[in-house]
Amino acid sequence: MWKTVLRRFLIMIPQLIILSMLVFLLAKMMPGDPFTGMINPNSDAREIARLRQAYGLNDPWWVQYCRWVGNMFHGDLGQSYIQHVPVASLIWDRAVNTFWLSLLTVLLTYSIAIPMGISAGRHQDEWQDQAIQIFNYITFAVPGFVFYILGIWLFSFTLGWFPISGSVSANASGFWGVLGSRLYHMILPAILYALITTTTIVQYLRTGIVDNKVEDYVRTARSKGVPENVVFHKHILRNSVLPIVAFLGNTITGLLSGSMIIESVFSYPGMGKLFLDSISQRDYTTLTALILLFGMLTLLGNLISDILLSIVDPRIRVK
Amino acid sequence: MDRQKDVLLDIQHLHTAYRLSGKFYDAADDINLTLKKDEILAIVGESGCGKSTIAASIIGLYDHKNTKVTGDILYKELNLVGLNENLFDKIRGNNIGMIFQDPLSSLNPLMRVGDQVAETLYYHTEMNEQERHARVIELFNQVGMPKPEEMYAMYPHELSGGLRQRVVIAIAIACKPEIIIADEPTTALDVTIQAQILDLLEDIQRQSHSGIILITHDLGVVAETADQVAVMYAGQIIEKADVKTIFGHPLHPYTRSLLNSMPQADDEEAADLHVIQGTVPSLKNMPRTGDRFAARIPWIPASAHESKPVMHEVAPGHLVRCTCYKEFHFQDQPAQEGAGA
């Protein structure tokens, strides 16, 4: 077990190095540098050249890369060109917002998807299954942004149950007031986002149950005289959740990366929106920091998935 | 009366029908069989002839929505046909143990093999955890598993096919059942392992005095282990006798063809194996009238077959379906004619 974890962890190191180099070189290849934006007809070309020299931009790329990585280890991700604040604090604020929205979404997703997947798999081809399949086709086929905008139009605009955008109202005060307001702002995006993301989990779980319930080992369990509901929960279901466990790691790390679409539709100040904004404003320091962070989160998610999977599935443990 | 007491399983007029595109078709058609204590009853036939259907009907493991079972399966006094599922759960694994064909897939990949055996004990005995563990170790010893303590904590993928089949057998015999159904227990195994597993089954039967139903298409296995033999073709039993009669004095054309298509190691002339023409008809296309085997021996005149073939007791305990056996001869092999008549 620990060997599996250690081995997976060691594999991650070269992956991280390659990822950070790619991100750094891509950023270098983009036109301009931090001082390009400052140039105006009154700029002194020598002053710019002096600044370039002072900030080490004339050094070879590997020297700059090492400095960049070194700074990162000190928590210094650089300054945002646009907002003129440290990128680290910018990301931190947004990450907190995204974390709470994503957490609520994930909790909703699993509490909707698991009962639905079980019901569909257990009552395969019966009316429960067919109703769930229709729901799945709709949520799978309708693009997210259409679904969210329809949701806003219906629940916020027409019915007025929820706020249309933002993460907290300006006049909320006190700890509970702010918390309540934040929660109130999260409910609609979380529900809509959860409904879209259930599809995959429902489908995986349903297929797993349908495939596993005709397996030979299930027949063996029945031939032992194990009651049917125990056969289902102990034998069929445990084998059917393996594919879901396989992407649970990415769900966990997704708590921090957020969703670009839902956050921009709801103007929710989270990581996804920050990413989109940095692209449109060409805020390169923020952008590279975010890309690196998303990449690291993906690697970490895969690591968590592998560890979880090796806990539940003895077949993939390394001896 | 004493004879009657020895009967463990009495199957009478069993019909098991599967639903195919809305209609039910008999996969097991009017099966009559008895299994006694201390007896190994072999059910033989080609794939798709209904052998496993009988096993599934006995142990009540079939798709209840799409299967119709009628007739009687008497386990002592108790009729297993239509038995309440909760009651059946108390019998399965306890009074009737089952061994399956493919040991690679018949164990749960996520559970330690020892726990899978202990699960049977959990539902049928009052043992506590330590007692169950001890009993599993005892069973592993009995089925010839090396290092039983270590084996307990292994997962199925860590064991060879032969060892997995021993685990499956340990599950089947854990509660000392009176009836063991072995559905092609050696088909998926290497030849050397096959012999070991068959020896093990015979050992178990000698020790426990249980009755074993051995389902197989392998006549070698039958000759080696069985006491009584029922030969099936297209959902029906076509010949029934003790093992000596079946191999020494077979009557039905199908039985004779099967035996004739068996390779003989000591017979050099039999380099060319006999091939039975055609295939077993599919469930939907099975002839429901006349002799079902007639189509595969077209050189025998139609007049030789009964219009409604029934079982004839030609000698005490030797039953054969249809009278066509009297006129049967092999095609292009006149030398062997009359071997059975």
Q: Which residues pair with B231 in a beta bridge?
A: B44, B239
Chain B residues with CB inside 8 Å of A315's CB?
109, 155, 157
What is the CA angle B25-A223-B9, rounded to 5?
70
Chain A residues with CB inside 8 Å of B59's CB?
223
Query: How many angstroms separate the CA of residue B231 from the nearest CA in chain A?
Result: 25
pLDDT beneath 50: ranges in chain B:
1, 334-341
Residue with tokens 């019998």: B91
For A62-103, how does the pLDDT look when each residue is reduced to its tens digit (9 = 90+)?
A: 888 888 888 888 777 777 766 778 888 888 888 888 888 888
Residue percentage of chain A with pLDDT more than 90 = 15
Give chain A's mean pLDDT. 83
A with B: how many residue pairs have Cβ under 8 Å apart? Answer: 73
How many CB atoms sit inside 10 A of residue A183's CB? 13
Fold of A87-312: MetI-like fold (1.10.3720)
User: Over B67-130, what HEC string results?
Assistant: EEEEEEEEECCEECCCCCHHHHHHHECCCEEEECCCCCCCCCCCCCHHHHHHHHHHHHCCCCHH
Q: Which amino acid is at B286?
A: M
- Tokens at residue A7, please? 């081995």
Edge-to-edge strands, sheet with B23-36: B23-36, B7-20, B67-75, B78-79
For A262-284, how does the pLDDT look when each residue is reduced to its tens digit (9 = 90+)?
A: 888 888 888 888 888 888 877 77
Measured between CA atoms, the residue of chain A closest to residue B100 is A220
Would you list the DSSP string of A27-73?
Answer: HHHSS--TTGGG--TT--HHHHHHHHHHTTTTS-HHHHHHHHHHHHH
d(CA B17, CA B23): 9
Q: Provide the residue ranges of all domains of chain A, joining segments of one domain with +.
A: 31-76, 87-312
Contacts 24+ apart (CB under 8 A), A184-188: A185/A268, A186/A100, A186/A101, A186/A104, A187/A104, A187/A162, A188/A151, A188/A152, A188/A155, A188/A156, A188/A161, A188/A162, A188/A163, A188/A266
Fill in the DSSP letter of residue A77.
-
d(CA A1, CA B276): 55
pLDDT of residue A87: 80
pLDDT over 80 at A1, yes or no: no
Do residue B108 and residue A315 have CB atoms under 8 angstroms apart?
A: no
- Residue of B59, B80, B84, B89 to mutate, interface with A, max A Cβ within 10 Å: B89
d(CA B266, CA B259): 15
d(CA A279, CA A212): 46
Nearest CB partner across the interface for B105, out of A216, A225, A227? A216
- Tokens at residue B167, please? 């685990």
B151 near B114, Cβ under 8 Å? yes
User: Over chain B, what HEC string results?
Assistant: CHHHHHEEEEEEEEEEEEEECCEEEEEEEEEEEEEECCCEEEEECCCCCCHHHHHHHHHCCCCCCCEEEEEEEEECCEECCCCCHHHHHHHECCCEEEECCCCCCCCCCCCCHHHHHHHHHHHHCCCCHHHHHHHHHHHHHHCCCCCHHHHHCCCHHHCCHHHHHHHHHHHHHCCCCCEEEEECCCCCCCHHHHHHHHHHHHHHHHHHCCEEEEEECCHHHHHHHCCEEEEEECCEEEEEEEHHHHHHCCCCHHHHHHHHCCCCCCCCHHHCCCCCCCCCCCCCCCCCCCCCCHHHCCCCCHHHCCCCCCEEEEECCEEEECCHHHHCCCCCCHHHCCCCC
**Mean pLDDT value of segment A100-109:** 88
Which has the closest alpha carbon to B241: B300, B130, B135, B325? B325
Do residue B92 and residue A223 have CB atoms under 8 angstroms apart?
A: yes
pLDDT of residue B338: 45
For A152-205, how does the pLDDT look when each residue is reduced to its tens digit (9 = 90+)?
A: 888 878 887 877 777 776 676 777 777 777 788 888 888 888 888 888 899 999
d(CA B313, CA B335): 28
Would you list the DSSP string of A184-230?
Answer: HHHHHHHHHHHHHHHHHHHHHHHHHHHHHTTSHHHHHHHHTT--HHH
Chain A residues with CB inside 8 Å of B120's CB?
224-225
Measured between CA atoms, the residue of chain B closest to residue A237 is B110
The pTM of this model reads: 0.81
Do residue A224 and residue B120 have CB atoms under 8 angstroms apart?
A: yes
Q: To the nearest 10°, report the CA torsion of A19, A20, A25, A27.
A: 110
d(CA B187, CA B44): 13
Q: State the pLDDT confidence band at A53, using cuts at 50, 70 and 90.
A: confident
As a whole number of Å, the CA-based R_g of chain A is 25
Residue with tokens 């590279």: A288
Edge-to-edge strands, sheet with B311-315: B96-99, B179-183, B211-216, B40-44, B228-233, B236-242, B318-321, B311-315
What ipTM does this complex have? Answer: 0.85
Chain A residues with CB inside 8 Å of B108's CB?
217, 220-221, 235, 239
**Mean pLDDT value of segment A144-159:** 84
Do residue B97 and residue A216 have CB atoms under 8 angstroms apart?
A: no
d(CA B212, CA B43): 11
d(CA B85, CA B199): 34
pLDDT of residue B232: 92
Output phi, psi for B236, to 5 deg. -120, 155
CA A145 to chain centre: 17
Q: Which amino acid is at A311?
A: I
Fill in the DSSP letter of residue A170.
T
For A23-36, how does the pLDDT look when each residue is reduced to its tens digit (9 = 90+)?
A: 888 877 777 666 66
Do residue B109 and residue A315 have CB atoms under 8 angstroms apart?
A: yes
Residues of B with CB under 8 A from a CB of A: 59, 61, 85-86, 88-94, 97-98, 100, 102, 105-110, 116, 119-120, 123-124, 155, 157, 168, 171-172
d(CA B233, CA B29): 10
Chain B residues with CB inside 8 Å of A220's CB?
98, 100, 106-108, 116, 168, 171
pLDDT over 50 at A15, yes or no: yes
Output phi, psi for B180, to 5 deg. -120, 125
How many CB atoms sit inside 10 A of residue A254's CB? 20
Chain A residues with CB inside 8 Å of B153's CB?
none
Nearest CB partner across the interface for B119, out of A224, A238, A313? A224
B242 near B259, Cβ under 8 Å? no
